[in-house]
Amino acid sequence: MLKRFCQRNFLILVIFIPVVLSSYFSQVQAQEKSPLVLEPLPFAQDALEPFISSHTLGFHYGKHHAAYVDKANELLKGNPLASKSIEEIIKETAGKSDQVPLFNAVAQSWNHAFFWKCLKPKSTGKPEGKIAKMIDDSFGSYDKFKEEFVKTGVSLFGSGWVWLVLDGEKLQIVKGFNAETPLTKNQKPLFVIDVWEHAYYLDFQNRRSDYLKAILENLVNWDFVASNL
């Protein structure tokens, strides 16, 4: 009798303890899951050569972008904002003096992830369809758009981003200093180029305009840009 009781309870323990432990650990893992994830690049690290070298991309994505994601996750540990989306965190921390480090880390994480999607190897070089017409209507021609985009990038003092945005019904080229992003200004980001020195210095040294032209003429993913309309 006692033997049968022990056997039955032993079996219950053997079956249920692993189930209970596994459920507990998966809950702990879920709670500890980092709010931000470093998504893989949408192309191979050497796919943008000769315009952006594998060496530059290795540092830019693997060190700079990764560091922003790590920093954001560190600052979001135990922070009630951690349950929100990255876009919501950016909007809630923008312009708040006590949230500058978190804003910088999340906005830079978002900006970089968006930037990678704006690029592709062997681009056709020119937009087509609706976005092409909007560019012609807003800037006069695609060449004039490129000219203004490069001019805006070169005139940005210090570090930042050059964006093509939809502001209401109108296309605009705007500067973003440091980690600034159009998401906080009710503008729809369509396309961006990173003009922090870490983005181009190894390949172009101080020739920021050559870097901007190289991307505009060879690496723009116009399908992605058009999908943001």
CB of 198 to Fe ion, least distance (A): 5
In the complex with Fe ion, the residue whose CB is nearer, 171 or 181, is 181
Distance of CA 51 to the CA centre of its chain: 20
Among the listed ranges 8-16, 89-97, 183-191, 197-205, the one in contact with Fe ion (CB under 5 A) is 197-205
Categorise residue 83: left if φ over 0, alpha if ψ from -120 to 50, beta otherwise: alpha
Q: Which stretch binds Fe ion (CB under 5 A): 15-23, 117-125, 144-152, 192-200?
A: 192-200
Q: Return the closest-CA partner of residue 45 out of 37, 35, 53.
A: 53
| DSSP per-residue string spanning 95-127 | T-GGGHHHHHHHHHHHHHHHHHHHB-TT--SS-
Pick the closer one to Fe ion by CB: 103 or 196.
196
Q: Name which of 110 and 139 has its Cβ closer to Fe ion.
A: 110
CB-nearer residue toward Fe ion: 141 or 206: 206
Q: Helix (H, G, I), strand (E, B), or coil: what is residue 36?
A: coil
Q: How far is the CB of 108 from Fe ion (least distance, A)?
A: 7
Does 194 contact Fe ion by CB under 5 A? yes
Q: Does 114 engage in binding with Fe ion (CB under 5 A)?
A: no
Beta partners for residue 177, in sequence order: 160
Shortest approach of Fe ion to residue 196 CB, angstroms? 5
CA dihedral 204, 45, 66, 225 (to 10 degrees): 80
Q: Does 68 bind Fe ion (CB under 5 A)?
A: no
Determine, following the binding rule CB under 5 A, whether residue 200 of this chain makes contact with Fe ion. no
Question: Cβ distance 209 to 154 under 8 Å?
Answer: yes
Using the minimum distance from each CB to Fe ion, give the nearer residue, 8 or 63. Answer: 63
> Which of these ranges, 32-40, 99-107, 177-185, 188-196, lies near Fe ion under the rule CB under 5 A?
188-196
Cβ closer to Fe ion: 72 or 199? 199
Tokens of 52: 């952006």
Please measure the distance between the N-terminal and C-terminal CA atoms of the chain and give it in whole angstroms: 75
How far is C-alpha 4 from the geometric centre of its chain's CA atoms?
A: 61
Q: Give the count of residues interacting with Fe ion (CB under 5 A).
A: 3
Among 196, 200, 204, 222, binds Fe ion (CB under 5 A): 196
Residues of this chain that interact with Fe ion (CB under 5 A) are: 194, 196, 199
